[in-house]
Amino acid sequence: DKKDKKDKKDDKDDDDDDLDSFKSKKDVELLWSGVGKDEYSFQLAWFGPYMTRTVGNAKDPKERVNFKPDKWQRDLLDIVDDDRSALIVAPTASGKTFIGYYVMDKVLRTDDEGVAVYVAPSKALVNQVSAEIYARFSSKTYPMHSKNELLGVFVKEFNTAGGVAEAGKWKNCQVLVTEPGVLEMLLLSPTHQDWVKRLRYVVFDEVHCIGAADGLLWEHTIQLVPCPFLALSATVADPEHFHGWLKRVNEKKWPSPKTDKEQVEMIIHTERWNDLYKYVYRNGELRPFHPFISIMETSVKKHGLASDLTLTPQEMAQLFHELSKIVGTDKRLEPLAPETFFSARCGFVKKMDARSYEKDLKAVFMEMVRDGTLTGYKFEKLKFGLQSLESSKAKFQPPSRAVADKEADEEDGLVDDISNMGKSMGYMQPSALYKVCKDLDKIQALPAIVFNFNRKDLAKMLSNLTKELKDRQYEKYYGDEDKQFRSKKIMEKRWTDYEARKIQYEQALKANASKNQEAKASRKNADEGDRGAVKDEAVAVSEDVGEVPPEPIDLADEIDLEFSFHNPKALGQYSAEIKESIDELKGKKVASALIDGLRRGIGMHHEGCNLLYKQTVEVLFRRGYLKVVFATATLALGINMPCRATIFCGDSLELNGLMFRQMAGRAGRRGFDLLGQVVFLDMAFLKIRSLVASDCPPLTGEFMLSPSTLLRALHEWEIVTLEQDQGNELDREKSEIVRCVAPVFSIPFFRSKQASLETQVAYHTRFSIDLLFKERLLNQNGYTRGLANFASHLFDIEPANFILARLLGKGLLHKYLEREQKRMIKGQRRTHLTVKLTSILAWFLCRKRLPNIVPKDRVPRKKYLPSADSPALPALPPAIAEEVVAYNESVFEHVQELAWTVASTEKIGKDPRQGDMEMPLSGKTFRSGWDPRGEPFDKEKSEFAPKLIKQITRYRSRSPFTAITGDGDEFTCPADLVSSARNLLHLDMNTFPTVAVPMLEAPAGSFEPSNSWMVDFMIHGKMKYLWDDNGIDPTKAYSLIDKFKEAIKKASTALGYFAPDDDIVRKTFKLLHDEIDKLMKVKDGLA
């Protein structure tokens, strides 16, 4: 029958089927596939974040850490176990910070006496690391009689141990978290050598700060440490040079015998765990920014690509695709086709495979640029083509069915040329800022840190974004009559429910009160009758009636998730802690706008923020509650605030290639995300190009030769010698102290192809002793005298320490204040002694040059007026001015002698590398002898020749090209010496510890015009007027004033060691500090 026939047919079909083949019996219309013909191109384009990272991670055989370390991390563990030093260069978020905590763990486990020091570049990082140390190691206990503490924090403003701020208690800690300036002070302090002896390891985090403004402190600290160290950084452009310097320093400290301490290893790890995907926010959308868009043909031909210019797998595929379109058929590109290059590998492309592909692709690209294959029009076409690829919003979308739609789609990618972008302030618009954050939230790119160096812009952006969220929420509930009606009904129901709960609460209170009254009556009866019979029953009754029901919040005022950037999951997990942290800020002088921002998941972080608010932002961000934080560079250095995106807006000279790499590295932290996003918001293309395509600047230090450092070293040596002469046991051997101090005066971290630095340092040390002797701070035996301790205590404000020592030693400051005290009028601020003292100190403390341009559009005001000569600083009193001039002349004479002596060590033209005989640009050389015709005179018979030769001006330290004017080795001013000295010498204006010396030649005894900013602030007390009157950037005014205040505090402390309590100078210094402190705390003063 039919059923049997059908079964036979099915059996036949089954027999014919080959189970190992997947052949289709008939053509089937295939659905659209997002993979396409080349599956490897597809992997590069879309699987980049998910590629396997093969970095050699494996279980540590010694089980020293509780994770699987990579190969380079295991090498680090071995270095620490062997007590060796190391330079570690690894990208941000690669996992290098763990070694610092391993060092601490090792020291803590060894004994109760050894000390590990962690050196951080910022207070924010100090606070974070301190909290992390306590969380990790707080379980360690000490004997009851021991004074030891686990953790100490020592910064300029305060020092604590075990959370207690007690003078000297920090010495008892085993782990000290500090700043480089503080550690340098401790290492050179003669009274703290007992603590220095206990040092076992020092960890320098973000060590590339040695090339920053305060790099000299980092340099001295590394030179002085008597123990192994670890130097960590993510942005050292030429680690070999830095490593070479570290090795020379250690070899100087431990010349023989060879020990582990001398060894300085170098660990370089270049692979970032999470790739950074770059975008520009343009015309309301995120557009991918390929790094090759920012390169220039001439620069690539001459210098090649930046060494750290890496591509994501997606960008590799894009580059190959565009190269193939523009160049066409080229044998060099054929092996780089993804389907060809990866065919020999397994089916899935790994991160290491992609890096190999990137290397070969870049090599071919460079070859094409240099041989002319890719030049001119084609080069620009490539850059333009990299812009026109599909945007970040385009996922796996099928192609349009209509040809017209396809053409339109292709045109859409060519609408806007990114290279035409100019600087814009659009990010200050509330709606634009809201849209940026919302767009990032939609693609799960939050939390984000928005970087901007202008504090006022940050505050404005935060308030704008918070207000925009509130306004949009209000519009949602009360935007029109229908919305108002619905909201009114909702609120009526809430109030009805509230009234019901309130009635229940009041009834519960009454019931509770009634029961308590009955219990009270029972106790009274028990007292009158048989106590034992009813005592157990006559107890008070107190039932938990709960808290008072809160009044309902208006719909427009409550936090709607649609109009907030906080993380509801984090809020649910840490609800009580978050609420308590935010509520604690009330009444702590924190602006209400900042608190409102925190409630909606928005924070701000910079140096001028309230300390408690700043710490709250750090905690809430790490817990995942905050999704948007506006910050300056305070979050760029090492602080653990993991985010998914970093947004750059605004412009600043401080935002350079090095800072950009530090800031961008905050995005995409290992263990949190698979990728990181970097977004450029309203930035000019030229600025973006300078950040992305430029090489990381080479690391170099400052060539600052400070007599104050020498004075401190001599003071330390003097104290140690006295201790030894008195028969006391020394905390450290004198030989060890000498070895650790020696590199400071022999091996500077500064690079120069021409100057003989080590010779100059040696002679500078010799002449600095002469200068200190002339200033009556040293005696003939090299021991300190006079006000040497005062000058040494104020080492960080050189040359103000030397000037103050002069003025105090000759009584000029006392005479001036005593005279002005008689003229003081109580109601006239300008006559007060603190203002008069400031007018003197402002010449050499935090001095600012008089601005060339002061804002002309000043708003006239009737009060809060500046000084009479504003913005110019009032002239120094004649007697004090004369003393300052004498000091400047003495220093200038000293540097001239130094220059002449160093130049005498090598004849002009002997070493061609110094370039004394050659112009740097034109290459023209200076003739060193007679012309080819020979000597024009007969030496034996000519009477004119010896007279001519005799009148020729001789010179050694001056450049031959400036000596042809007839000038010899007598220089007119410091500027003349700096600009005219031979290349053998490295001199700049910082070499001269002088005060207000004119940059150009000027009449003798004159000073460079200086800014009256500090005097004006002391008169009116308003920071906001410093911009109008003095041209001081409002974002930097607070830190400048704080720096001035700290210097006054330090001077006041030093005066307290030798001046009586009623000394007019001491009292005025203390009063000045107190007044500045008070003005800085006034709310209007912070405007």
Alpha-carbon distance of 579 to 565, in angstroms, equals 16
pLDDT more than 70, % of the chain: 87
Q: What pLDDT, on a 0 to 100 scale, did the predictor assign at position 540? A: 46
Q: Binning pLDDT at 50, 70 and 90, where does residue 176 land?
A: very high
153, 160 in Cβ contact below 8 A?
A: yes
Identify the pLDDT of residue 648.
Answer: 93
| Angstrom distance (rounded) from CA 688 to CA 440 | 20
Contact predicate 891/992, CB 8 Å: yes
The continuous run of DSSP H or E covering 338 comes out as helix 338-341
Q: Identify which has the larger pLDDT, 396 or 943.
A: 943
- The pLDDT value given to residue 647: 92
The residue with tokens 């070479």 is 244
3-state DSSP call for residue 925? strand
pLDDT mean over 36-58: 77
851 band by pLDDT with thresholds 50, 70 and 90? low
Percent of the chain clearing pLDDT 90 (strictly above): 20
Nearest CA-CA partner of 993 in 846, 843, 766, 798: 798
**Before 447, cis peptide (omega within 30)?**
yes
Asked if pLDDT for residue 532 goes beyond 70, the answer is no
> Can you state the angle between helices 313-327 and 351-370, rounded to 10 degrees?
30
* Range with lowest mean pLDDT among 140-154, 630-644, 810-824: 630-644
Instruction: Quick: pLDDT tens for 476-531.
Output: 888 788 878 888 888 888 888 888 888 887 787 777 777 777 677 776 666 655 54
Q: In whole angstroms, what is the distance from residue 595 CA to residue 483 CA?
A: 28
Q: Which of 345-349, 431-435, 571-575 has the highest mean pLDDT?
A: 431-435
Contact 679, 286 (CB under 8 A): yes
Name the strands in the sheet holding 173-178, side by side, starting at the edge strand that comes first in the sequence: 159-161, 149-154, 173-178, 115-119, 199-204, 229-233, 85-89, 264-268
Which tokens belong to 933?
A: 């015709």
What is the predicted pLDDT for the residue at 186?
Answer: 92
Rounded mean pLDDT, 770-784: 89
Can you state the percent helix, strand and coil of the chain, rounding each to 5?
A: 50, 10, 40
How confident is the model over 167-174, as a mean pLDDT? 85
Confidence of residue 118 (pLDDT cuts 50, 70, 90): very high
Alpha-carbon gap, residue 310 to 272, rounded angstroms: 10
Beta bridge partners of 288: 279
CA 889 to CA 895: how far, in whole Å? 10
Q: Which strands, in side-by-side order, build the sheet including 275-282?
A: 285-288, 275-282, 675-681, 645-649, 448-451, 628-631, 602-605
1048-1079 tens-digit pLDDT: 999 999 999 888 999 999 999 999 999 999 88
The DSSP symbol for 480 reads S
Q: 273-312 burial by CB neighbour count: b if 16+ within 10 A, else e?
A: bbbbbbbbbbeeebbbbbbbbbbebeebeeeebbeebbbb
Mean pLDDT within 17-25: 45
Smallest CA-to-CA distance from 689 within 95, 355, 289, 130 is with 289
Average pLDDT of the segment spanning 424-437: 88
| H-type alpha helices, 699-756 | 707-725, 734-741
Q: How many helices (H) and strands (E) does the chain have?
A: 40, 15
User: What whole-number distance in Å separates Cα of residue 333 and Cα of residue 364?
Assistant: 8
63-74 mean pLDDT: 84
Q: Omega of the bond prior to 871 within 30 degrees of 0, cis?
A: yes
Give the pLDDT of residue 106: 92
Nearest to 820, CA basis, from 842, 804, 803, 835: 835
Strands 199-204 and 285-288: unpaired
Q: What is the pLDDT of residue 960?
A: 79
Helix (H, G, I), strand (E, B) or coil at 406: helix
Omega within 30 of 0 (cis) for the link into 257? yes
Buried b (16+ CB within 10 A) or exposed e, 683-694: bebebbbebbbb
Query: What would the mean pLDDT of 917-936 be, rounded to a whole number?
Result: 71
pLDDT digits (tens, 9 = 90+) for 441-460: 988 888 999 999 888 889 89
Do 165 and 158 form a contact (C-beta atoms < 8 A)? yes
Q: Which residues contact 663 (CB under 8 A, 6 or more apart)?
A: 449, 451, 633, 635, 636, 646, 648
CB 128 within 8 A of CB 640: yes
Cα separation, 705 vs 764, in Å, equals: 7
CA distance readout (Å), 302 to 369, 409, 1023: 10, 38, 48
3-state secondary structure 167-234: CCHHHHEEEEEECHHHHHHHHHCHHHHHHHCCEEEEEECCHHHHHCCCHHHHHHHHHHCCCCEEEEEC
Instruction: Indicate whether 136 pLDDT > 50.
Output: yes
User: What is the sign of the dihedral through the CA atoms of 704, 707, 712 and 714?
Assistant: positive
What's the token pair of residue 856?
């002309």
User: What is the distance in angstroms between the CA of the first residue and the CA of the last residue of the chain?
Assistant: 100
d(CA 209, CA 187): 19
3-state class (DSSP) for residue 386: helix
For residue 405, the model assigns a pLDDT of: 45
Q: How far apart are CA 434 and CA 424, in angstroms?
A: 16
Hey, what amino acid is at 757?
L
**pLDDT tens-digit profile of 970-1015?**
888 888 888 888 877 777 777 788 888 887 777 777 888 899 999 9
Report which listed range, 112-121, 471-480, 988-997, is most confident. Answer: 112-121
Produce one character per residue of 64-82: b if its CB has 16 or more CB atoms within 10 Å, e if not. Answer: ebeeebbebbbebbebbee
- pLDDT averaged over every residue in the chain: 82
Alpha-carbon Rg of the chain, whole angstroms?
Answer: 36
Residue predicted with more confidence, 39 or 872: 872
Q: Which of 151-160, 736-745, 845-854 has the highest mean pLDDT?
A: 736-745
Q: What pLDDT is recorded for position 790? A: 92
Strand partners, 667: 643
pLDDT value at 56 more than 70: no
Q: Dihedrals φ, ψ of 236, to 5°? A: -110, 110
pLDDT band at 231 (very low <50, low <70, confident <90, very high): very high
Residues 228-252: what's their mean pLDDT? 89
Specify the residue for token string 């912070």. Answer: 1086
